[in-house]
Amino acid sequence: MSDNVAILEGFTQEAVASCDATDLYLLIKPGTDLDSAFRAWDTDEQEFITVNGWLFTFEFAKPETKTIVRCPRCGEPIWDVAKNSKLNKCWNCMLAFDSMEDDDNE
Give contact residues for Zn ion (rule: CB under 5 A): 71, 73-74, 76, 90, 92-93, 95
74 versus 87: smaller Cβ distance to Zn ion: 74
Cα–Cα distance measured from residue 104 to residue 99, given in angstroms and rounded to the nearest whole number: 10
- CA gyration radius for the chain? 19
16 versus 95: smaller Cβ distance to Zn ion: 95
Indicate the residue type of 35.
D
5 versus 95: smaller Cβ distance to Zn ion: 95
Report, in Å, the least distance between residue 71 CB and Zn ion.
3
38 versus 97: smaller Cβ distance to Zn ion: 97
Report the 10 Å Cβ neighbour count for 76: 14
Report, in Å, the least distance between residue 65 CB and Zn ion.
24
- Residues 28-59, buried b or exposed e (16+ Cβ, 10 A)? beeebeeeeebebbbbeeeeeeebebeebebe
Report, in Å, the least distance between residue 22 CB and Zn ion.
47
Report, in Å, the least distance between residue 99 CB and Zn ion.
14
